[in-house]
């Protein structure tokens, strides 16, 4: 077999193991019986070992190295794929095996330690573990640094290729200058919310019925995916023909399932609209965390929370919840779903304040990796930044520095993509609106036109185009955070009746 044949054969095996492991993971989150957990874990261990052996087969590695140095015989798409695979392989080879194993053992314990610390408001019990995680991440940065990507940029690049501290600083400085003062003004506005919404009861069966209706509204292809229930909503996909979503139902909050479902559909529609021929390659799926989040935020916030959307669908909501929503006006509902409330908890934040929560985490991560901050000082710095950007001081570490599990998993560099995705979505909206009258399309219940535009400009390319190049291609300009600030100010000045 020549080098290309060796690579293609190993890719086929790798994708098969990936699919099997993915199915077991999906099953665990949705319906594995409790007593089957150990049996399932035993099978995962065997499959994971086999998958690792395929990935690290010397013949496969030799083939990748050869093809990377001799790309002239490859198609353009295979050139891109080999470049991506070679980058991942080079990174893996730079990490000493024992360090990698030790870190996996540490992570297997860290989540449990964090969970107990959060439950008991006990940062001190978590600190030694967090220090070890950070120490490993600093070693990882040293192992993976290159002439062009160094320091914290190494971690940022893992989640959003091409994005650096310089890029993120420009983005977050724009928020500090142009958005934080507006948020402080907006937070002072008293919002009178309907008690039927804030104190109501919305049965799970009725929520399921409305969510089923939403699947059709957004044209989520149920031949390629399903909607299930889980403790925390998520999207899980392995190919354009198999991308699944979950949601969670809370009978005291009608918003929760609606917007988590729309959010996850945004992720899933992206995956479903990648070129089907990429399903058998390493180019399948979304290109980065930031681009992925831009799609979920676009559908959830810019469509789902818009007045135009509820002009068309509010009657259906009332029909679904006739008793709970009796006498509740459409405007009262729109105010409720766009409520502005400064909060300590990121995952409960509203659209206007959400990115400021992320900005706090970014500033902390940056200081941890440039040597200006030690882990023991995290609670103090966290509280200081929350006071600075949101005007709030957490009363406990549980509602402060201990609220997220990400750092226990070693996911430094991940948080900024949440805010980046929201900002990219505003730039995409601006560009799309030049081709489509988005408000009218949404009112006419023709969201398929939006899906088609996104497929043509973004989705179909999968991982074949790098994030910055994809933004430039789709919007005709590089990433520009001002669209995001302008969008938020325009939307919330109208809702709250204040000057932007």
Distance CA 141, CA 365 (A): 13
Contacts of 296 (CB under 8 A, 6+ apart): 235, 263, 264, 266, 267, 421
pLDDT at residue 424 is higher than 90? yes
Q: What is the pLDDT of residues 197-239, one digit of tens each?
A: 999 999 999 999 999 999 999 999 999 999 999 988 999 999 9
Q: What is the distance in angstroms between the CA of the first residue and the CA of the last residue of the chain?
A: 65
The per-residue pLDDT for 420 is: 98
More confident residue, 28 or 423: 423
Contacts of 157 (CB under 8 A, 6+ apart): 149, 163, 164, 413
User: What are the φ/ψ torsions at residue 105 (nearest 5 degrees)?
Assistant: -65, -45
Q: State both tokens at 226.
A: 């399903």
| For the chain, domain boundaries | 1-94, 96-500
Band the pLDDT of 1: cuts 50, 70, 90: confident
Tell me the HSE value of 95 on the side-chain side, using a 13 A CA sphere. Answer: 19
**Residues, the chain, total?**
500
3 state DSSP class of 236: strand
Q: What is the pLDDT of residues 160-210, one digit of tens each?
A: 999 999 999 999 999 999 999 999 999 899 999 999 999 999 999 999 999
Distance CA 423, CA 294 (A): 7
Catalytic residues: 264
**Mean pLDDT score, 332-339:** 96
In this prediction the pTM is 0.95
Band the pLDDT of 425: cuts 50, 70, 90: very high
pLDDT at residue 34 is higher than 90? no
Distance CA 402, CA 129 (A): 13
Tell me the HSE value of 128 on the side-chain side, using a 13 A CA sphere. Answer: 3
Band the pLDDT of 399: cuts 50, 70, 90: very high
pLDDT at residue 41 is higher than 90? no
Q: Which helix H or strand E contains 313, and what residues bound it? A: helix 307-320
Topology of the domain comprising 96-500: 1.10.1370
């Amino acid at each position: 077999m020549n080098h290309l044949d060796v690579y293609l054969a190993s890719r086929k095996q790798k994708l098969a193991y990936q699919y099997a492991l993915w199915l077991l993971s999906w099953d665990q989150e949705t319906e594995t019986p409790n007593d089957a957990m150990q049996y399932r874990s035993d099978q995962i261990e065997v499959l994971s070992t086999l998958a690792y052996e395929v990935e690290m087969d010397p013949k496969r590695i030799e083939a990748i190295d050869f093809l990377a140095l001799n790309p002239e015989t490859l198609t353009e798409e295979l050139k891109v794929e080999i470049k991506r695979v070679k980058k991942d392989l080079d990174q893996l080879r730079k990490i000493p095996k024992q360090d990698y194993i030790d870190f996996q053992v540490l992570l297997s314990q860290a989540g449990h330690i964090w969970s107990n610390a959060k439950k008991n408001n006990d940062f001190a019990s978590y600190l030694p573990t967090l220090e070890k995680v950070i120490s490993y991440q600093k070693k990882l940065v040293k192992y993976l640094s290159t002439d062009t990507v160094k320091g914290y940029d190494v971690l940022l690049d893992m989640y959003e290729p091409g994005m650096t501290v310089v890029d993120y600083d420009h983005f977050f400085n724009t928020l500090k200058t142009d958005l934080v003062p507006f948020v402080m003004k907006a937070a002072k506005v008293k919002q009178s919310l309907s008690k039927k919404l804030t104190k109501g009861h919305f049965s799970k069966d009725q929520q399921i019925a409305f969510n089923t209706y939403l699947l059709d509204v957004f044209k989520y292809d149920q031949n390629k995916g399903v909607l299930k229930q889980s403790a925390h909503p998520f999207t899980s996909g392995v190919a354009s023909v198999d991308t699944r979503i979950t949601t969670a139902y809370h009978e005291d909050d009608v918003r929760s399932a609606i917007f988590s479902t729309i959010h996850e559909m945004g992720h899933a529609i992206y995956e479903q609209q990648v070129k089907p021929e990429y399903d058998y390659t390493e180019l399948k799926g979304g290109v980065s965390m930031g681009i992925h989040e831009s799609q979920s935020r676009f559908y959830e916030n810019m469509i789902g929370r818009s007045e135009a959307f509820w002009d068309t669908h509010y009657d259906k909501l009332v029909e679904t919840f006739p008793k709970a929503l009796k006498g509740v006006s459409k405007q009262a509902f729109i105010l409720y779903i766009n409520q502005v409330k400064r909060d300590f908890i990121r995952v409960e934040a509203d659209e206007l304040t959400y990115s400021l929560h992320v900005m706090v985490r970014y500033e902390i991560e940056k200081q941890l990796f440039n040597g200006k901050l030690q882990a023991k000082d995290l609670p103090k710095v966290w509280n200081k930044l929350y006071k600075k950007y949101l005007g709030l001081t957490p009363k406990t570490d549980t509602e402060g520095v201990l609220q997220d599990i990400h750092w226990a998993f070693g996911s430094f560099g991940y948080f900024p993509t949440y805010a980046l995705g929201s900002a990219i979505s505003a730039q995409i909206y601006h560009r799309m609106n030049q081709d489509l009258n988005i408000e009218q399309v949404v009112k006419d219940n023709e969201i398929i036109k939006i899906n088609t535009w996104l497929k043509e400009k973004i989705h179909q390319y999968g991982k074949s185009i790098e994030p910055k190049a994809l933004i430039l291609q789709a919007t005709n300009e590089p990433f520009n955070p001002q669209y995001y600030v302008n969008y938020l100010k325009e939307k919330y000045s109208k809702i709250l009746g204040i000057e932007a």
